[in-house]
Amino acid sequence: MPQQIAVVTGAGSGVGRAVAVELAAAGWRLVLAGRRAEPLRETAHLLGTPTAVVPTDVTDPAAVDALFAGAVERFGRVDLLFNNAGTFGAAVPVEDLEVEAWRAVVDLNLTGAFLCARAAFRQMKAQDPQGGRIINNGSISAHVPRPNSIAYTATKHAVTGLTKSLSLDGRPYRIACGQIDIGNAATDMTAAMSTGVRQADGRIAVEPTMDVADVARTVRHMAELPLEANVQFATVMATAMPYVGRG
């Protein structure tokens, strides 16, 4: 297989770091993006493969364009975007959510995902050989909400629309787009689940989690398919988490 180049956003921790480690082990070269340089350097130290570290605010169009320009300057092309940067935001009742807090979640989870997808699409369309793959990080919340999560849930539902539109618009250019919807991977973002999180009936309950490496292996499988094949949507979740059924 020719050398493959991947851009991973939110690569300084959690799912992004795990995916970067998995792809590097499979021989991919990585461009790591995130807000803070030090966590990105910590991820890069784990990889053992040629890696570019590019601190990037994905809500800034100019910064995103510079990220992809730098990736092409360093490695010549982009074969994969793992569109992963995101935030849960404040877990507060709807009536208490400030507009500024709403906008911060929308800017990162939706506008940031769009800006990165747009830049990747442009590059994949223009490069020779043409094409590539975009994998968006959705969430179980792209299907069902948690209590007090209106901004996060709304953006993750919107990411599904982004995925579908990219899939359709990418067809003529060999650009595939899929989405991974993750439930309860053990990361810093889900640490509270070990002590208890609010359920739909108001109870506080501990929820099962799964190893984030299992998510990374799923992303790798999606990434390494030929461009003639696509996992449109994949749900990877802790087997016993309260999702299927009535809790």
pLDDT for the residue numbered 55:
97
- DSSP H helical ranges for the chain: 14-25, 37-47, 61-75, 99-106, 112-126, 150-170, 212-224
**pTM of the predicted protein model:** 0.94
> Judging by beta carbons within 10 Å of its beta carbon (0-12, 13-18, 19+), is residue 17 exposed, middle or buried?
buried
Residue type present at position 206:
V
Domain locations along the chain? 5-237
Task: Give residue-wise pLDDT tens across range 186-235.
Answer: 887 677 777 888 888 888 888 889 999 999 999 999 999 999 999 999 99
Task: Give residue-wise pLDDT tens across range 134-145.
Answer: 999 999 999 999
Active-site amino acid positions? 152
Poorest-pLDDT segment among 8-12, 73-77, 200-204:
200-204
pLDDT for the residue numbered 129:
97
pLDDT over 60 (residue 1): no
pLDDT over 70 (residue 175): yes
Which CATH fold topology does 5-237 show? Rossmann fold (3.40.50)
Tallying the residues shown for the chain, one arrives at 247
- How far apart, in Å, are the Cα atoms of 128 and each of 43, 58, 99? 30, 26, 44
